[in-house]
Amino acid sequence: MIQRGLRERLRVLHCRRFSRNVLVHGRRCLEGVQSELKQQLLLPNGELSSQVDLWAAGRQGVSIALRAAALCERPFLLQFATAKQLELVGFEPRDSSSETNDARAMFHLTFLQAREAEAFKKRPKKVLPVGQKSHPNFIPLAKAIATELRWLPSREIIAVETLLLGKVKNTYTRTFSLARAVAQAYEWQLADAQKCVRLFHCWALERTVEDLEVHNTGQADSKLQEPRVLQLLLLPEGEPPPRPDGSPGIRKQEETN
């Protein structure tokens, strides 16, 4: 626990000194966050910055953050943050919702150089959908993500996605569950007792669903809604970890059933 606390403290100090920070709460608009994020990702000379850190609080905040990330086309790490970390980078208490009392409602997105961009253009080996039932218990989804990543062949990707359709609060809830599940899967990889460590990078993508039939919900704006999906593509690092007996980390046929 001491090592983990020191690691978190060093991470925040590094962000304050060497990186560019974007702060996102539920009252910010998507267009404003997207514009600021794009500006921070570019250096004055037009080159890409080496690292940009985005800090988000609450279900609306992280929903806005992930949709902005989808418009910027850069890989990133998605981790949980703490209230203390948000305070250290300049997040005002009034900018936080009551959900920030929950240790699983604050997030840190670390945007990286786009060295792996081509790998994210592959067709995902598996797509894990996020439904309304994933809230509040996101742990089963996080376990499914961790399991798929543990056996995934090198340079392959999986996807976790949610439909951006229906009531706004339900869309926020599903996106929130998606973020928490991915961040939890990443946190498990950092655990000191974890033997099958396999870190991974994320890539956000927003796309139209052409083959989805949308029924009129009776709401005034239902005809104006276009079925879209927010998708997080996950790319693990390196080869699958070996099995406990030392044999290659290849998924056996019976483990896929």
43-99 pLDDT per residue, tens: 766 677 778 999 999 999 999 999 999 998 899 999 999 988 998 998 876 555 555
Extents of the domains making up the chain = 2-115, 120-256
120-256 has which fold?
Answer: Translation Initiation Factor IF3 (3.30.110)
- Do domains 2-115 and 120-256 share one topology? The answer is yes
Mean pLDDT of 18-36: 90
Is the pLDDT at 223 greater than 80? The verdict is no
Q: What pLDDT is stored for residue 222 in this prediction?
A: 47
Tell which CATH classification among 3.30.479.10, 2.60.40.10, 3.10.129.10, 3.30.110.20 matches the domain 2-115.
3.30.110.20
134-164 exposure pattern, b = at least 16 Cβ within 10 A, e = fewer = bbeebeebbebbbebbbbbeeebbbbbbbbb
